[in-house]
A and B are shown apart, each in its own frame.
Chain A
Amino acid sequence: MADEFILSIFRGDADGGQEVEYRVPRVEGMVVLDAVHHVQAHEAQDLAVRWNCKAAHCGSCSAEINGVPKLMCKTRLDEYEGQTVHIQPMKTFPIIKDLVTDVSWNYEVAKKIPAFHPTVAAPFRMQQWDVDRIQEFHHCIECFLCQDVCHVLRDHQEKSQYYGPRFMVKMAEFEMHPMDRADRIPQIKNEGGIGLCNVTKCCTSVCPQHIHITDNAIIPLKERVADRYYDPIRNFFRKLGGKGDESQPE
């Protein structure tokens, strides 16, 4: 076991940059963010990194570690024993500096999502099994790692056409809430662009909160869209009975 870790951290901004190597003394159980902080405190005060909680709660410290989108505060360095650890900023968003990217596009999308819309007043009567399904979506820490990895946004830069997995999760959270009465299906299909997702499940594989983004949020939403637009009989009943029943889990 070496007594230090070797980090190769991207240093640069919109005008370009390159990885710079740093050596950090080993401390038992240390995570990547600890090592980045060590570099900051001792060698490069101006090394830019976003973080808040160092407890995997806030979703600030997203980066690409040896090419994989991860939270720096949840990634142990001893996973990379004997390797150089390459730390790069998320690629899907414009870089500001070093490990910090401009994620403001996500906040613009968030603003387009219509608020939760109940028609009865709280307190609600809902059983735990009524809410189990949506509580999963509430685990999202808005780290945007799923947005980072989604090829629609990353490779094709179709940010104007698809809200991305994070916001499909948000849509699903409201859409499947037993008390929500807003009609979200047209937006999910049209501006939301759910059709662009071809269910590669890359988003699910990087989610640090283990949300089944594709299976539990996107696919059921796709089904609702299909029912609405391509299944006239269901559509007829939906108009009679309000939204809801077509989506109960099997």
Chain B
Amino acid sequence: MNIETMETHAFDVLVLGSGGAGLRAAVEAASEGGVSVAIVGKSLLGKAHTVMAEGGAAASIGNVDAPDSWQTHFYDTMKSGHYINNYRTVEVFAKEAPARVLELEQWGAVFDRTPEGRIMQRAFGGHSFRRLAHIGDRTGMELLRTLQYKAISMDIKVFQEVTITRLLMDGSRVAGAMGYYRADGHFILLKAKAIVLATGGWGKVYKVTSNSWESTGDGAAMAYRIGADLKDMEMVQFHPTGMVWPPGVAGLLVTEGVRGEGGLLYNSEKERFMKRYDPERQELSTRDVVARSIFKEVQAGRGTPHGGAWLDISHKKADFIKQKLPGMYEQILTLGDIDITKQPFEVAPTCHYQMGGVQAHAETCATTVPGLFAAGEVACGLHGANRLGGNSLADILVFGRRAGIAARDYATSLKKAPEIDDTQVEAEVARILEPFNRPDGENPYAIHQELQEAMSTHAAIVRSEDDLKVGLNKILSLKERAKRMGIKGGRVYNPGWHAVFDVENMLLLSELIVRGALERKESRGGHWRSDYPDELPEMGKWNFVHQYSEDGDRITRVPVPEMPPELAEICARPVAPGREKVAGSSQVPPRKE
């Protein structure tokens, strides 16, 4: 490969990932002009994982429950994260989320309305007030489509179906990225002064997952390889309500909106079992609690025929269900043959979200690599040990924007554009083409499947030292086999070839999840250890940071940043700010049944 003839571009700001976080970053970086901006996605524009989000975006606008405030959103988010979140990230987030949601309306998003004609907000687990701005059950699509059309109306260069495989360096700072066009396999080199990483999560490491195919963690893996710190990797969210039956759709999400709109959970004995696990919040408890409760019911022999719980919203009027949850109604009818307006249906936990990821500064989203910024699901800091529903869509808006600003500022402050030496590019070209030399090598699909089995068996919702060790060994031996992955066919739209790099990234991140899970000898949020069933105050003082080294992953404990008194005071309150008057009433928030 002659580097001279490789397709090459140079930009001030390069955004990797065209999900919500990436698009929001690109829009911001380009908003003042004078800065060249490009955005890259490995799918077509408008198809990113964000499109799947259903329930809503959390922001304390207070249109439905007036006493809501940023303080309450802060309180809820810290509590749900079991206090290993970065408090400053949470503070910035809670304060800015309302403005970010309202601004979408300016760009064409049309949220559901309150009777007063304002943006409607719905209840969700762990939120003290009705807080999720939504559009039926397709809020992510609205958000993504709005940002997509905003971005194409601006001066932003869009690369579609380009897979980035490596971040390139100039000394210790980032200098660009390279990859290939999926359509025909030709290489592309993108030089940049600053890069925003917005490549999303890695839910595809588990067998039963709500995530789209893109969620293979490429960005996190690439950042780790160039020395960026990764944090809290053991913190994986299992959403309590994935579809269970038929097997073809297992894992497909049933939005929390079903419970938000009044859906109830029952075990095989027709008991509303959540009363036993969280008498106050019941179905609207946080996801870690509800997922674990369903798991425990099934273990105790009170599961549904296919190993889950019953979710029932049929006590609500059919018209109400079809208006509030049209997508769910149709999804479960066409794929599961069940009319949810008439009968209950089976649900069980499904892998949903990665709280861990690339460590990012609370205000600038800067990673530990100069010039590299991270926002959205790939980043870490906001959610702690358990993410609240609706906080991710708000996250990608707030920190997408902030990463865009910081990248723009960084790029304009650079006196000299970074340079990329040819050896990095040559080495990557060789690596990318290598699998073609082994037409009879290991099948990447088979390795992926075995990895998913291993992760689902040994490092999923319940974990233990012995199990995790077995899992780790399996991952390490898969990693060895993966070195011999090979493919048939040519470079034109060859999914087998594409899968090779996805699988390498997933193997790496799976290893970090398991190593982190071994290290955290306690149960906290999404991380549940059967051999350490309690949450330990001593462990709550630490985040675990992963660093790349020649001889493998290096884990260090770093102290969770300590809150200033005024924020600590908020967290110490016995009831959420604004709820003092209603405290003592049983249901939070008030619901009609």
Contacts and interface: CB of A to CB of B under 8 A. Distances in A.
Nearest to B145: A138
Contacts of A134: 110
A130 B164 CA distance: 43
Interface centre among A27, A55, A113, A142 (most CB of B within 10 A): A55
A48 B118 contact: no
A120 B554 CA distance: 54
Interface in A150-193: 173-174, 177
Interface in B101-149: 102-103, 105-108, 110, 112-113, 116-119, 135-136, 138, 140-142, 145, 149
B105 A52 contact: no
Contacts of A31: 248-249, 335
Given A50-B44, A51-B213, A58 B51 contact: yes
A96 B493 contact: yes
Contacts of B106: 118, 121-122
B495 A48 contact: yes
B68 to A, nearest CB: 15
A13 interface: yes
A123 B119 contact: yes
Contacts of B1: none
A128 B247 contact: no
Contacts of B212: 52-54, 58
Contacts of B267: none
A34 B246 CA distance: 12
A139 B135 CA distance: 10
A127 B110 contact: no
Contacts of B160: 104, 107
Contact of B495 (A46, A55, A111, A135): A46
Nearest to A59: B47
A98 B337 CA distance: 31
Interface residues of A, number: 63
Interface string B316-348: 000000000001000100111100000000000
A46 B488 contact: yes
Interface stretch (B32-40, B441-449, B463-471, B578-586): B441-449
Contacts of A142: 46-47, 145
A116 B149 contact: yes
A34 B135 CA distance: 29
Contacts of B102: 122-123
B536 interface: no
B118 A125 contact: yes
A68 to B, nearest CB: 15
Contacts of B29: none
B248 A28 contact: yes
A204 interface: no
Contacts of B44: 50, 60, 103, 107
Contact of B446 (A41, A103, A121): A41
Nearest to B249: A29
Interface residues of A, dominant DSSP: loop
Contact of B52 (A58, A103, A113): A58
Nearest to A112: B152
A40 interface: yes
Interface in B492-528: 492-497, 499
Contacts of B47: 52-53, 58-60, 142
Which of under 10, 10 to 19, 20 to 34, or 35 or more describes the interface residues of B?
35 or more
A126 B106 CA distance: 13
A54 B247 CA distance: 13
B152 A111 contact: yes
Nearest to A98: B493
Given A52-B51, A118-B106, A141-B141, A13 B492 contact: yes
B52 to A, nearest CB: 5
A53 B102 CA distance: 27
B445 A28 contact: no
A45 B445 contact: yes
A86 interface: no
A236 interface: no
B150 interface: yes
Given A49-B495, A57-B52, A174-B108, A110 B152 contact: yes
A127 B117 contact: yes
A97 interface: yes
A29 B332 CA distance: 11
Contacts of B335: 29, 31, 74, 76
B383 interface: no
B544 to A, nearest CB: 32
Contacts of B118: 123, 125
A76 B113 contact: no
Contacts of B107: 115-116
A76 B334 contact: yes
B153 interface: yes
A46 B494 contact: yes
Given A56-B331, A128-B112, A135-B110, A45 B495 contact: yes
Nearest to B251: A54
By Cβ-Cβ distance, the 3 closest A-B pairs, closest first, are: A29-B246, A45-B496, A46-B489
Given A50-B44, A52-B51, A60-B44, 18 more contacts: A27-B246, A45-B499, A52-B47, A53-B51, A58-B51, A58-B212, A60-B43, A96-B183, A100-B493, A104-B160, A107-B44, A115-B108, A116-B107, A127-B113, A138-B138, A138-B145, A139-B138, A142-B47
Interface of A: 13, 27-31, 34, 40-42, 45-60, 74, 76, 96-98, 100, 102-104, 107, 110-111, 113-116, 118, 121-128, 130-131, 134-135, 138-142, 173-174, 177
22 contacts: A27-B247, A29-B247, A41-B449, A45-B445, A45-B487, A46-B490, A46-B496, A47-B495, A51-B213, A52-B51, A52-B214, A55-B331, A57-B140, A58-B52, A58-B212, A96-B184, A96-B493, A123-B119, A130-B113, A130-B117, A140-B145, A141-B51
